[in-house]
Chains A and B, each alone.
Chain A
């Protein structure tokens, strides 16, 4: 055990505290400041003076108070009991704190992240004599109805199991005894710790190729994100960033969802806390909360803990990834995280880079997103365990201006960019993802997957639809100059079809019970019906049918209503309407 060092405060400036007598402490060690034991982290050392960022309000702190190092970097507790929990930026359980301290977060409040009293049914997956190494699954706990918590040997450990028991245990109880190669005996519990600023190890990283379905039409069809990929949602306020993040947390096809509310509104976290337990997971039918972990460091909570929150979140996500699960991580918003970084940097009197942000902003962001990916998990088993961590970050650029350093640094890293647009938001076109400026670098890979698994003509339809939207924006320019009458019938058809694409396909109402989630099958059929109208109408134009006669066809009302058709009726409905479309078009030529 490392020697713990004890020092003394000499300077307090907001969340930054400088203490002397800290020569024995290491960089990034967690320290407790003053009698109220405020938690902080060492971020700089000058001789025996340590600069400490304190995760709690420092009012009332003064020189002379004691500082004690815990001798370990900021770590999170990993084990059964994480799912369904709500934690702050340094993994204090917020619901336990309400019970302990009341409605407000008081200083120095502390409770262990994992409930020490709760008992779990542990069933062993190894037997005495088995040789195991870090990452091997030694047993499982059914944590919720839908999630089996795989208890792994912590990375870096190896040896032979001497003793292991199935039964009912608390997280800190010894479930197994390991004899290491040197002959030492080590006690293994269900709980392990991991420092948040270091990524958890894996065997190898793989390239993402399968799409992560989210049930959101503009995303899945036009700008898909791959499992294990990274995406960013930048947009000005009011453009629906948070709604998109919530929608993804609700409907993304994942085993575990980690949602980080980083410097955002308190009511948004409350919304998640109240709404998720009531919503069923489309895949399993159980409440969404049974697969969700919330990290809430709202904007009024201490700024230094906000800086830590995204690391706390991603470490928990990595832990579930290591079990072989598909984990989705949403961070709302990385701009607030960057601001916390800037605030600490300013207090440290570092030389600022762009807009006062520290020069290392880009590299910090990059190393955060790089922790996402699809990996072969650590394990000595022959069967390969593959874990997925998809990271989706919201960015809140000032005034929606993408030249902002946080937005720019993010765009250099992420593969998918959903650009939210305030004009679309004013028109109440939601999700306000601008189809002309957004992109997804996974498109080619995902296209291949969709053509193989959904329908062979999927990518062609998508390309046609995108072309149509592109042409619309050009035609609109012309209309603005010379008016609608100047257009040929074929151009007017394009405008009308593009409008239908926008209103009947891209527009999706998150607050409607049915429209909030669209399966891939339904997405394909909706798109195909919209495009079918366009193709058929083009043919009809060639036959000499006037454009005005097509606009009023009854089928167009049906196309508009398709989004409200329940999933189980989709196939039937589509077959009928597709038939009807052809018939109505034929009738026009007669």
Chain B
């Protein structure tokens, strides 16, 4: 039996100092028993001689320094995993909170995981059809990728994420597919939106959910993403499933991390966030991926709201440096009624080039993608000019680009949250739009593809 200590010296914020401990290890899990028999969890942040600095996972309300006892469990934070997790809802610490029974564990897994050996990774290159044109056509998602959604307060990122979860079915029905959803510090309503959406579409049967709501202890948020990814790793690499991990909202996670760091009086980095924020975020994001000789995969779509829509804020900034691209939502497009309001120019999927082309999507995909980007970018520039100087100031060709960019937003990007477009449909819409421009303007498309796909009637109709 583990020794119990009645030597709590001080409690400040989420931290507690216990004196006179023996044989306590760094990162070990502990339990605090309150005077009334309540059990709270904690973990060791630092050991120095016989002093242990521990971090509480729950609130410290009602904790009495004199009468509470601490025992250390001799292990780190673990999650019980089993195939029965599918269809269940857990709290941020991995305890069932849907009123169901406890999971009978198939295995206990350390939630911190271990870094994947880069030499064991398999390169993600299989196309995932999300049914969203702005993603499939221009910022293609592949299996094993980590592609965050950068959003802002009040933008419909939840709808987009739910749409992806609903539509991102694997084309090959032989493969098993699962969704792991982690709510980190979001409101009940937002979490409820996801749960009801999963129920409505039946996706709940192949989903595992970890819910930490805004009024749950903030410190629990540090564990929640790790719980979710531990479950995802089990499903992907033990049970050969293709797992899509949705996580919202990373911003609250980083704030919880800052809270602990501030309580420890660490030297802050930018905007008060700890200097190790990058390393910490990486230890979460990098758990996505594929492994050689394993059938499953973890595709990771974290959502974060950019404070004040600022992309250079440390959270989106560091995330962008770790993830393989980003999908950015724009307030401007949202106001104009474009749904989903994906701003395609600053959005990027770094792995798209490996997931598209002949045999994966279609041979002309890369060329049309580049052309659409270039034309839309030029069209937007022309529109800016038009606003300042009026239509007359534009050359004839710039006017065509300007019209193209409007049509592109309305037809290509704005498809609504219920439309599921196949990649063929997406490519066809792309060619319809490109055919608004003269064929000799399409410099990024190979001549053979222009010959095959360009719609000449469309061009004439425009003239």
Contact surface of A with B, Cβ cutoff 8 Å: 10-14, 18, 57-64, 86, 94-95, 97-98, 101-106, 236-238, 261, 263, 265-267, 269-271, 273-274, 296, 298-303, 336, 339-340, 342-343, 346, 352, 355-356, 396, 398-401, 422, 425-428, 479-480, 482-485, 503, 511, 557, 560
Question: B residues within 8 A CB of A57?
Answer: 112, 114
Known contacts: A11-B49, A60-B28. The answer to whether A270 contacts B123 by CB under 8 A is: yes
A398 interface neighbour in B121, B279, B312, Cβ under 8 Å: B312
B117 interface neighbour in A94, A480, A484, Cβ under 8 Å: A94
Closest to B125 in A: A274
Known contacts: A103-B120, A267-B121, A480-B388. The answer to whether A346 contacts B289 by CB under 8 A is: no
A13 interface neighbour in B46, B76, B322, Cβ under 8 Å: B46
Q: B113-128, CB under 8 A of A: which get 1 and which 0?
A: 1111111111110000
A95 interface neighbour in B47, B119, B286, Cβ under 8 Å: B119
Question: B residues within 8 A CB of A104?
Answer: 113-117, 120
CA A274 – CA B279 in complex, angstroms? 26
CA A427 – CA B122 in complex, angstroms? 31
Is the pair A270, B115 in contact by a Cβ cutoff of 8 Å?
no
Is the pair B112, A59 in contact by a Cβ cutoff of 8 Å?
yes
B48 interface neighbour in A11, A238, A482, A483, Cβ under 8 Å: A11
Question: B residues within 8 A CB of A425?
Answer: 348
Is the pair B286, A266 in contact by a Cβ cutoff of 8 Å?
yes
Q: Tell me if B205 is interfacial: C-beta within 8 Å of chain A.
A: no
Contact surface of B with A, Cβ cutoff 8 Å: 23-28, 45-50, 76, 112-124, 144-145, 237, 266-270, 275-276, 278-279, 282-283, 285-287, 289, 291-292, 294, 311-314, 317-318, 320-322, 324-326, 345-346, 348, 350-351, 353, 366, 370, 373-374, 377, 385, 388-389, 392-395, 398, 440, 443
CA A427 – CA B443 in complex, angstroms? 14
Is the pair B26, A355 in contact by a Cβ cutoff of 8 Å?
no
Is the pair A399, B121 in contact by a Cβ cutoff of 8 Å?
no
Is the pair B118, A296 in contact by a Cβ cutoff of 8 Å?
yes
Closest to B381 in A: A427
Question: B residues within 8 A CB of A265?
Answer: 286, 322, 324
- Give 28 CB contacts A-B under 8 Å: A60-B26, A63-B47, A63-B49, A64-B23, A94-B117, A95-B119, A97-B117, A98-B119, A103-B116, A103-B294, A104-B113, A105-B114, A105-B115, A263-B282, A270-B121, A271-B123, A298-B282, A300-B286, A302-B115, A339-B275, A346-B267, A356-B268, A398-B270, A398-B314, A426-B345, A428-B377, A484-B395, A557-B440
CA A273 – CA B287 in complex, angstroms? 19
CA A105 – CA B113 in complex, angstroms? 10
CA A299 – CA B322 in complex, angstroms? 8
Q: A18-B48, A343-B279 are in contact. List 10 more A-B contacts (CB 8 A).
A: A12-B48, A62-B26, A62-B47, A105-B116, A236-B317, A237-B317, A269-B118, A273-B118, A426-B345, A560-B443
CA A408 – CA B11 in complex, angstroms? 41
Is the pair A483, B118 in contact by a Cβ cutoff of 8 Å?
no
Task: Please list the 10 inter-chain residue pairs (A to B) with the smallest Cβ-Cβ separation, ordered nearest first.
Answer: A399-B312, A299-B282, A483-B393, A59-B27, A300-B286, A237-B320, A104-B114, A62-B25, A12-B26, A11-B48
Known contacts: A398-B317, A482-B389. The answer to whether A346 contacts B278 by CB under 8 A is: no
Q: Distance in Å from the Cβ of A393 to the closest Cβ of chain B?
A: 15
Closest to B353 in A: A511
Question: A residues within 8 A CB of B282?
Answer: 263, 298-300
Question: B residues within 8 A CB of A236?
Answer: 312, 317, 320
B114 interface neighbour in A58, A106, A296, A336, Cβ under 8 Å: A106
CA A94 – CA B292 in complex, angstroms? 14
Is the pair B116, A300 in contact by a Cβ cutoff of 8 Å?
yes
Question: A residues within 8 A CB of B366?
Answer: 511
Is the pair A356, B267 in contact by a Cβ cutoff of 8 Å?
yes
A267 interface neighbour in B267, B351, B394, B440, Cβ under 8 Å: B351
Closest to B384 in A: A480
Known contacts: A63-B50, A399-B312. The answer to whether A298 contacts B374 by CB under 8 A is: no
Question: A residues within 8 A CB of B289?
Answer: 266-267
Q: Distance in Å from the Cβ of A487 to the closest Cβ of chain B?
A: 11
Is the pair A98, B317 in contact by a Cβ cutoff of 8 Å?
no
Question: A residues within 8 A CB of B443?
Answer: 503, 560
Is the pair B373, A428 in contact by a Cβ cutoff of 8 Å?
yes
Known contacts: A58-B26, A237-B317, A356-B267. The answer to whether A273 contacts B119 by CB under 8 A is: yes
Question: A residues within 8 A CB of B119?
Answer: 86, 94-95, 97-98, 269, 273, 296
Question: B residues within 8 A CB of A303?
Answer: 276, 279
Is the pair B26, A267 in contact by a Cβ cutoff of 8 Å?
no
Question: B residues within 8 A CB of A422?
Answer: 346
Closest to A512 in B: B366
CA A342 – CA B117 in complex, angstroms? 25
A355 interface neighbour in B48, B118, B270, B373, Cβ under 8 Å: B270
Q: Distance in Å from the Cβ of B358 to the closest Cβ of chain A?
A: 14
Q: Distance in Å from the Cβ of A160 to the closest Cβ of chain B?
A: 43
Is the pair A270, B118 in contact by a Cβ cutoff of 8 Å?
yes
Is the pair A428, B370 in contact by a Cβ cutoff of 8 Å?
yes
Is the pair A266, B46 in contact by a Cβ cutoff of 8 Å?
no
Question: B residues within 8 A CB of A298?
Answer: 115, 118, 282, 286
Question: B residues within 8 A CB of A86?
Answer: 118-119
B385 interface neighbour in A59, A346, A480, Cβ under 8 Å: A480
Is the pair B388, A399 in contact by a Cβ cutoff of 8 Å?
no
Q: Distance in Å from the Cβ of A239 to the closest Cβ of chain B?
A: 10
Q: Distance in Å from the Cβ of A422 to the closest Cβ of chain B?
A: 8
Known contacts: A94-B118, A104-B115, A343-B275. The answer to whether A12 contacts B322 by CB under 8 A is: no
B320 interface neighbour in A60, A61, A238, Cβ under 8 Å: A238
CA A13 – CA B275 in complex, angstroms? 15
Is the pair B49, A427 in contact by a Cβ cutoff of 8 Å?
no
Question: B residues within 8 A CB of A97?
Answer: 117, 119
Central interface residue in A102, A106, A266, A342, by most chain B CB within 10 Å: A266
Question: B residues within 8 A CB of A485?
Answer: 393
CA A482 – CA B294 in complex, angstroms? 61
Central interface residue in A104, A342, A400, A560, by most chain B CB within 10 Å: A104
Is the pair B118, A343 in contact by a Cβ cutoff of 8 Å?
no
Known contacts: A103-B116, A428-B374. The answer to whether A342 contacts B269 by CB under 8 A is: yes
Is the pair B46, A12 in contact by a Cβ cutoff of 8 Å?
yes
Known contacts: A265-B286, A266-B118, A266-B289. The answer to whether A299 contacts B26 by CB under 8 A is: no
CA A10 – CA B398 in complex, angstroms? 71
Q: Distance in Å from the Cβ of A549 to the closest Cβ of chain B?
A: 16
Question: B residues within 8 A CB of A94?
Answer: 117-119
CA A154 – CA B317 in complex, angstroms? 45
Question: B residues within 8 A CB of A103?
Answer: 116-117, 120, 237, 291-292, 294
Q: Distance in Å from the Cβ of B49 to the closest Cβ of chain A?
A: 5
CA A355 – CA B287 in complex, angstroms? 28
Question: A residues within 8 A CB of B275?
Answer: 339, 342-343, 346, 356
CA A101 – CA B440 in complex, angstroms? 57
Question: A residues within 8 A CB of B346?
Answer: 238, 422, 426
Known contacts: A300-B116, A400-B312. The answer to whether A12 contacts B47 by CB under 8 A is: yes
CA A86 – CA B120 in complex, angstroms? 11
Is the pair B270, A60 in contact by a Cβ cutoff of 8 Å?
no
Question: A residues within 8 A CB of B28?
Answer: 60, 62
Is the pair A98, B120 in contact by a Cβ cutoff of 8 Å?
yes
Is the pair A270, B122 in contact by a Cβ cutoff of 8 Å?
yes
Question: B residues within 8 A CB of A62?
Answer: 23-26, 28, 47
Question: A residues within 8 A CB of B314?
Answer: 398
Q: Distance in Å from the Cβ of A248 to the closest Cβ of chain B?
A: 18
Is the pair A339, B278 in contact by a Cβ cutoff of 8 Å?
yes
B25 interface neighbour in A18, A60, A399, A428, Cβ under 8 Å: A60
CA A12 – CA B26 in complex, angstroms? 6
Closest to A294 in B: B118
Is the pair A274, B270 in contact by a Cβ cutoff of 8 Å?
no
Known contacts: A103-B294, A104-B116. The answer to whether A426 contacts B287 by CB under 8 A is: no
Is the pair B312, A61 in contact by a Cβ cutoff of 8 Å?
no
Is the pair A105, B25 in contact by a Cβ cutoff of 8 Å?
no
